[in-house]
Amino acid sequence: MGKKNKRTGVVFSTNPDYDYTNNEDQVEETLPKQQQVLRVQIDRKKRRGKEVTLITGFEGSKDDLKDLGKFLKTKCGVGGSVKDGEIIIQGNHKTKIIDLLKGEGYTQTKGIGG
């Protein structure tokens, strides 16, 4: 039998300078906590007037972001989600989340807006 081709779903190019890279092999490394520049704000847009606390600026793997989201949801005792590189916590918990993040070593955390 022959070698199995791992390049499924690839569009082939006649360009001799084309560089094939497989995005699945790239693992995004998570920055250390003290280097993370996190922003915490209250958001009401497209949420029918309900407030959520939005945490943005996390640089790292999706798993690490999900773990941080789970930690914050647990500590605040509310629901939320992690999507598009943001953590969404139900309700206005801005001050508590800033304190929690700084306590966990995210020293560059800042609040945005009122």
In the chain the domains, ranked by start, together with CATH numbers, are 30-111 (3.30.780.10)
Contact 44, 50 (CB under 8 A): yes
CB atoms within 10 A of CB 47: 11
The per-residue pLDDT for 9 is 60
* pLDDT tens, residue order, the chain (114 aa): 555 555 556 566 677 776 666 555 555 788 999 999 999 999 988 878 899 999 999 999 999 999 999 999 999 999 999 999 999 999 999 999 999 999 999 999 999 986
pTM, to two decimals: 0.74
